[in-house]
Structure 1
């Protein structure tokens, strides 16, 4: 599905990124494997994980190149795109799995924990989207369009809906969805599709979560996820733009965008603006059958 394409896969030194890079190569893509080789908390660096993924691809008969660097660095991502074009002549797709965790309850979280996670996930996505979209926009204008669409896939998470102990990660993953929806609107005129995915899998970032207790590799391993990014990067997804796909084991879902679930109205010209007292009076009308207490915090 990806023959004659060049795909950049960031955070591809292990887990979901590695499996996606390998699957894309298996489907005919030339893959640029980015990874900084950090620990789950973002500490340390190591070029070996990216090199290992490249070696795995080459052993299977594919073509790949390792690229070592920090995706949250805007100068680095510009260089990543430039080096890819120098080596292979084009970039057809980009996906970013790079991420870290520094979990803490919101009342205990310090500034460094917040900044580190938001920087890698949210700024890292912005940095990549900015770099590759600049290149594509300039190339599209110079060439009068492309022979095929380009694809950007952002990696969000179900944690964007909220998860105790992960306010930094939740905020970053929710922000990625806002970035994706805006970029999808801005870049479509340049033959670029922008989508997102919510992957759920057993990886080093999730293996200690309570929801993963008792889950095995066969039912929720990272090898079950790459069908989504391969599809989104392919010409089969020509009419898919601004969409979030979730995959968890054998379950594939479309995730809805935020929308107004129900509305009550008044004519402000004749009845005046809303008052807190009116909201109180009409609250049951607005929320009839709708659960507003979303969860019992339990602490």
Structure 2
């Protein structure tokens, strides 16, 4: 018996890296998996059916259940087709893991419109589009009187939550938006039996290896037999737990890397200044934190 027995899951960006590890673990734990991956390059260009199908073949060879999907989650119709495929192939949908992402790094003064739009589209719109169509499905089921115990796991990043990374204004903004989207969706969808959480993972992937200043760290070899703290497989057990029907957690963002899981809390007051009357600029300049 697996913790995901009988559950149907859609996992985006599941042809490689962290998403692939999610798909393999979900299948081993008894889930039927729709493996979504457009198969493009790091910057989102191109397409290839190979990565998604290879993961499906690996799952089915091990006795699991999976089908491939190569729709672009940044497109409204593609996200809808992805949700519809899960329902058509496996009779329902219980879990969405939003993981697909790309990089088009550039410093603010040199970033062009296409670099900004592409990253926001795949990450932030891609998360919302799949979430929206899944939420509509679960709302319809609930309104029909059917029980729903669904879960969404989004993918944020330290770049958008705790450690701003120069050269990633587009990526960091998208990931911060995903964290906020997670909290809002958790509030809205609880009435339909849906829990929504997010992870901010740190692991060795195509994207992290391509990130300036980080690639050399992630590329370091780990001696045989030692724990590999950057292995993407370290991320998936948390995602599987959050996706399980017995997990009660919702509205949380967790940093996860190696052997550590930390709950993250967003913007909060650290110091307040007050006045009994209208503010004076020189008063603010004297008293505001950091002045």
The answer to whether the Cα contact below 8 Å between 2:150 and 2:245 also exists between their aligned partners in 1 is no
C-alpha distance after superposition, 1:215-234 (max 9, x if no partner): 34622111111011101101
C-alpha distance after superposition, 1:37-89 (max 9, x if no partner): 00001111011110001011112221101111100111121121112111111
Query: Which residue number corresponds to residue 4 of structure 2?
Result: 2
**1:88 aligns to 2:90 (yes or no):** yes
Q: Which has the larger radius of gyration?
A: 1
The two structures, once aligned, show a CA RMSD in angstroms of 1.5
The answer to whether the Cα contact below 8 Å between 1:69 and 1:76 also exists between their aligned partners in 2 is yes
Compute the displacement of 1:212 (Å): 4.3
Query: Which residue number corresponds to residue 122 of structure 2?
Result: 120
The answer to whether the Cα contact below 8 Å between 1:228 and 1:245 also exists between their aligned partners in 2 is no
CA distance in 2, matches of 1:123, 1:202: 24
Compute the displacement of 1:280 (Å): 1.9
Query: Which residue number corresponds to residue 16 of structure 1?
Result: 18
Q: What TM-score does the superposition give when structure 1 sets the normalisation length?
A: 0.90
Aligned to 2:80, which of 78, 81, 86?
Answer: 78
Structure 2 counterparts to residues 87-236 of structure 1, below 5 A: 87-146=89-148, 149-161=149-161, 162-209=164-211, 210-214=213-217, 215-216=220-221, 218-236=228-246
- SS in structure 2 opposite 1:154? strand
CA distance in 2, matches of 1:113, 1:250: 34
Which segments of 5 or more consecutive residues in structure 1 lack a partner in the other structure? 294-299
- SS in structure 2 opposite 1:8? strand
CA distance in 1, matches of 2:30, 2:271: 46
Query: Which residue number corresponds to residue 260 of structure 1?
Result: 269
Aligned to 1:29, which of 8, 28, 31?
Answer: 31
Which segments of 5 or more consecutive residues in structure 2 lack a partner in the other structure? 223-227
Aligned to 2:61, which of 35, 59, 62?
Answer: 59
- SS in structure 2 opposite 1:186? helix
CA distance in 2, matches of 1:15, 1:201: 9
C-alpha distance after superposition, 1:2-38 (max 9, x if no partner): 0010010010010000000000111110101011000
Runs (4 or more) in structure 1 with deviation over 4 Å come to none
CA distance in 1, matches of 2:271, 2:66: 50
Compute the displacement of 1:264 (Å): 2.6
Query: Which residue number corresponds to residue 249 of structure 1?
Result: 258
Segment drifting more, 252-261 vs 11-20: 252-261
- SS in structure 1 opposite 2:209? coil
Q: What TM-score does the superposition give when structure 2 sets the normalisation length?
A: 0.92
The answer to whether the Cα contact below 8 Å between 1:25 and 1:63 also exists between their aligned partners in 2 is yes
C-alpha distance after superposition, 1:85-131 (max 9, x if no partner): 11111100001111110111110000011111111000101101111
